[in-house]
Amino acid sequence: MTVRLLCLAVLAAVSASAPAATFVIRDHDTDGLIAAIRAAENTREPDRIELAPAGLYIVRNPGDSRQSLGLPLIRSAITIVGNGAEIRRYSDAEFALVGVARSGKLALENLAIAEASRGAIINRGVLHLDTVRITDSFADDANAIVVNYGTLRGWDSEISHNAVLAAKRDAGIVLNFGRLELARSRLAGNTVTGRRSSVLTASALLNLGDTDLRDVTIEGNSALAEPDDTSSAHAVVNLGNGSLQGERVTLVDNWPEEANVLPTSDPDVIN
């Protein structure tokens, strides 16, 4: 069925036993988007949320204050179809935008996630990114823009122009502890800095899990440990028992220059 959100009261009719639903959200109706996610959490089947074509959804306050998230934590199966829309934080409050719990399954399609703080996405469940752009975000008191503890699959997507600054511990734009698969995607124009030379900085990916990269471009990123120390600065870092597989991975114009290589197959060796 299709539920058009003309007012928030419509959502109250969606009960815990309701079947799968499709919610159509008007442009600029951030409250409607948040309400739709909460309603979708109460249905038995996977739900679908459709945003307005090229719409803009400004998040000014956390939709899940306990989790410091702009949108409610995803605990069920939901697909958000962006139709070229943007979900953008515009607030003095600091919060990530998207969080997926262990029980959650979230698919994002044709959508931009922008200007988050404390990173943009934290995934502990299953997250699919299809033509998604994660941009203009920073990590304040966090060590990554995208943190994955579960399964994250992305294709035709971009993570660009984000910053992790003055990290207190090892940091990366993408920090993977779980299963990460990226295909036909791009990580570009990102910056990571650490507070001291002992902090590893990965301007694209810090991997401690299982990662598979296919047709991925990593370009124009920069990493640095303060003050002006590049000995622990890389584009891609593979640590511990991490497994990193890659085919047709291009690294170009990353800084420092020696960062333009993938780590060796031995996870204890970092180029």
Instruction: Find, among 257, 126, 146, 235, the residue nearest to 191 by Cα.
Output: 235
More confident residue, 47 or 240: 47
User: pTM of whole model > 0.85?
Assistant: yes
Q: Give CA separation, 8 vs 33, 36, 161, 181, 254, in Å.
A: 10, 9, 35, 37, 47
Q: How confident is the model at residue 49 (pLDDT cuts 50, 70, 90)?
A: very high
Tens digit of each residue's pLDDT (9 = 90 or more) over 190-232: 999 998 878 899 999 999 999 999 999 999 999 997 767 788 8
186 three-class SS: strand
Element (H, E) at 39: helix 30-40
What is residue 38's DSSP assignment? H
Sign for the CA dihedral angle at 228, 208, 152, 118 comes to negative
pLDDT of residue 16: 45
Tens digit of each residue's pLDDT (9 = 90 or more) over 65-114: 888 999 999 999 999 999 999 999 999 999 999 999 999 999 999 999 99
CA–CA distance, 213 with 250 (Å, rounded to integer)? 10
| Residues contacting 243, CB < 8 A, separation 6+ | 209, 210, 211, 267
